Structure 1
Amino acid sequence: MKERIKARFRELAGMVGVSGAEQEVVAYLQEQLAAVADEVKVDPSGNVIAVKHGSKPGPKLMVCAHSDEVGFCVKNIYPNGYIAFDKIGYVSDQLLLGRKVWITSKKLPGVIGIKAGHLQTPEESRQVKSIRDCYLDVGASSRQEVEAMGIKIGDPIVLQSDFMEMHNSDLISTKSVDNRINCAIVIELFHQLKDTAFAGTLYGVVTVQEEVGLRGATMVGNQLEPDYAIVLDTIPAGDTPDIETEKVLPVYLGKGPACPVADAAGGHFTYIHPKVRAMIEEQSEKAQVPVQYLTLIGDSYTTDAANLAIAGKGIPVGVVATPRRYSHSPIELVNLNDAEGVLKIVKGIVTDNGQKELGFL
């Protein structure tokens, strides 16, 4: 199971799928899910909806991940062939200078230029340049040459990254762990349920544009109006020397999935539904998978759960998250054992679908 997650994750992480330009990822998900779901559709905005019908009546359950990643897009092509670019989603300016990039799903190569160190003034050497002071170099000398490569305004850009296995091969460092690891989990979930009886209907959903306002979740929540939802996302791990772990972010790599009981950022607020929390706790115990519970209020963390909770007539929702270090960078680090734990808990929730009443009290 873990090796299958790893193999699909490797393929997904190598794709370019910045918010608004998720076509390559969506096409892959549609193909993979079509082999194991009763039906799969992609709505006009790119949200993937896979359906598996249970063997008897029961609640409609949505298991939800997002397909997009943070990155950039082409803002302008200068007459001399250099390129200005915009951010899509949150990327720290500290990550920009001297980086290799891929442009479009064709992975056209480029670099973010940096002034030679021996030519920098002492002040320049200490500065963090904003994106407005940065430029892309694709090895062209004119706008016409850039356009001849197939590059145009608005094209997506990501920081180049390989799929690096650490000495412990369960630890993987790459870009877009957020949230391609959970896209791989959704696919594996449907494979695991291929010959499994359960009540109700499962909607395996992969949303678009999560990184720019949880937009796909609103679209799909209003379309499907599930009885409840489990959101699969990643969550920052606080177990590095630059974070006071227990005080600020008590999440550790390798200690199991995390469950944010409450989170808030940018006007979004989520508090886990009590019955959904009870399901997560029950399946954690059944599967002997530890869960790290925490709150992240005012720490700029939120997920699709925030918009799902208020979609339609209101959807009971909870989050089961895969910890990862180095958020929104090309070296995000994940432990596949945590991902496998997420899958075991969610599979248990689907298998026991309908056994718990969903009232608030």
Structure 2
Amino acid sequence: MKTTNMIDQKAGHSLREEKVKESIKNSLRDLTGLVGVSGSEQEVVKYMRDNLLPYADEVDVDRNGNVIAIKKGNAPGPKLMISSHSDEVGFCVKNILPNGFIMFDKVGGVSDQLLLGRKVWVTTKKLPGIIGIKAGHMQTPEESKRVKTTRECYIDVGASSRMEVEDMGIKVGDPIVFQSDFMEMVNKDLVCTKSVDNRIHCAILIELFKELQGVEFAGTLYGVVTVQEEVGLLGAIMVGNAIEPDYAIVLDTIPAGDTPDIDTEISLPVYLGKGPACPIADGVRGTMVFNHIHPKVREIIEEQAAKVNVSLQMITLVGDAYTTDAASLTSANKGIPVGVLSTPRRYSHSPVELVNLNDAEGVLKIAKGIVLDNGGKDLGFI
């Protein structure tokens, strides 16, 4: 009888996990289908506000678009902020030429190698367009080998004049993103699409608030969705100064190094499917942007990972082109103790970002555990 009960418990636990992953997947499908380039995140902000509202005590959107969902605990305790960011990399309309073609600027870090021959969505209405490519028959040998820059590219929306483009409702400054379908691999836990960075954690934030219904914890949880992370970590410092949290956990994606073109163990020992990553230190080369997570918040993350039996991939990325909102929060409000939990994903800032939902679920488990044990550790530096 005891063995039967254990089998039933394991089966029930597995079923719950599958339902959670399916819920995260459904939210991710919705969120990645939205256009939310930095500075034009309104559609994502609306979605997050509406989907957090049923599970939070209060949801506010500040005048810059940062979403702040508040969940009050049943006992005194610290103010804990758990955040994701709403924006994605992409482009914006720079100019509409008299012949109806569109010139565009990059918004955030997009590789020029991704441009030619791509389908795009223009404006939040997702008007179809194509980044044009010169016919191969007409390219010189030199042209066929050279990567064109954004300034040399153009978008074709099927119009023959500026007026025709404007009649579509397109104007200077409008957002543009890669068109990308939501593709499940043969292994249904692997999902590929655009803007996994960082819509996966927007989906996790919604799921976290769902799972906290009727659950007791100390203090106050601030579930935050920040704007304009991809162009300078701008929303995080606004919110950090406004909320004044006692500590914060930033949820973001991290590049996986487990592909043939990366020397994984030397350069980027992060693998898809081996659990969430915890970047201890990171910084963008050639800048003063740097973050080292707070030692006590690191302990909180590691202890919760062990408690819920989730593997953590510890990593440093100092001097590489990686950072998160944590770099802004560490200096907000006179300095906020910050930790980072990351979901690995391949093919960063492309229309084919690949994520393993088991890693994302691991982030959720750790984040939930941190909320439930909020206030259980002294946050002093030493």
Shorter-chain TM band: over 0.9
Find the counterpart in structure 2 of residue 351 from structure 1.
Answer: 372
> How far apart are residue 104 of structure 1 and its match?
1.1
Distance 2:83 2:289 in 1: 18
Find the counterpart in structure 2 of residue 142 from structure 1.
Answer: 161
Distance 1:268 1:132 in 2: 27
Find the counterpart in structure 2 of residue 66 from structure 1.
Answer: 85
Equivalent in 32, 37, 56 of residue 75 of structure 2 = 56
Find the counterpart in structure 1 of residue 182 from structure 2.
Answer: 163
Q: How many residues align?
A: 361
Q: Secondary structure at the match of 1:81?
A: coil
Find the counterpart in structure 1 of residue 222 from structure 2.
Answer: 203
Find the counterpart in structure 2 of residue 338 from structure 1.
Answer: 359
Distance 2:154 2:334 in 1: 46
Q: Secondary structure at the match of 1:51?
A: strand
Of all paired residues, the percent bearing the same amino acid is 73
Q: Secondary structure at the match of 1:346?
A: helix
Q: Which residue identity lines up with residue 343 of structure 2 in the other structure?
A: T
Deviation string 1:130-167 (CA, Å, 9 cap, x unpaired) is 01110000000000000000000000000100000000
Q: Which residues of structure 2 form unaligned runs of 5+?
A: 1-19
Distance 1:200 1:224 in 2: 14
Q: Which residue identity lines up with residue 222 of structure 2 in the other structure?
A: Y
> How far apart are residue 26 of structure 1 and its match?
0.2
Deviation string 1:105-125 (CA, Å, 9 cap, x unpaired) is 110000000001111111110
> How far apart are residue 313 of structure 1 and its match?
1.4
Distance 2:124 2:207 in 1: 24
Q: 1:290 aligned to 2:311?
A: yes
Q: Secondary structure at the match of 1:312?
A: helix
Equivalent in 349, 353, 356 of residue 328 of structure 1 = 349
Deviation string 1:56-88 (CA, Å, 9 cap, x unpaired) is 000000000000000000000000000000000
Q: Secondary structure at the match of 1:322?
A: strand
Deviation string 1:167-226 (CA, Å, 9 cap, x unpaired) is 001000000000000000000000000111000000000000000000000100000110
Distance 1:354 1:312 in 2: 19
Find the counterpart in structure 2 of residue 37 from structure 1.
Answer: 56
Q: 1:118 aligned to 2:140?
A: no
Q: Which residue identity lines up with residue 347 of structure 1 in the other structure?
A: K
Q: 1:248 aligned to 2:293?
A: no
Find the counterpart in structure 2 of residue 103 from structure 1.
Answer: 122
Distance 2:179 2:211 in 1: 32
Equivalent in 232, 247, 263 of residue 251 of structure 2 = 232
Equivalent in 154, 158, 161 of residue 173 of structure 2 = 154
Q: 1:301 aligned to 2:322?
A: yes
Distance 1:245 1:195 in 2: 43
Q: 1:86 aligned to 2:82?
A: no
Deviation string 1:300-338 (CA, Å, 9 cap, x unpaired) is 100000000110111000000000000000000000000
Distance 1:128 1:355 in 2: 53
Distance 1:132 1:54 in 2: 52
Find the counterpart in structure 2 of residue 214 from structure 1.
Answer: 233
Distance 1:196 1:273 in 2: 27
Q: Which residue identity lines up with residue 166 of structure 1 in the other structure?
A: M
Runs of 4+ in 1 over 6 A off after TM superposition: none
Q: 1:179 aligned to 2:198?
A: yes
Q: Secondary structure at the match of 1:337?
A: helix
Distance 1:214 1:246 in 2: 29
Equivalent in 334, 340, 343 of residue 313 of structure 1 = 334
Distance 1:61 1:145 in 2: 50
> Normalising by the residue count of structure 1, what TM-score does the alignment of the two structures yield?
1.00
Find the counterpart in structure 1 of residue 5 from structure 2.
Answer: none
RMSD of aligned Cα (Å): 0.4
> How far apart are residue 268 of structure 1 and its match?
1.0
Deviation string 1:250-303 (CA, Å, 9 cap, x unpaired) is 000000000000001132111010110111111111111000001000111000
Q: Which residues of structure 1 form unaligned runs of 5+?
A: none
Distance 2:241 2:278 in 1: 24
Q: Which residue identity lines up with residue 357 of structure 2 in the other structure?
A: L
Q: Which residue identity lines up with residue 270 of structure 1 in the other structure?
A: N
Q: Secondary structure at the match of 1:333?
A: strand
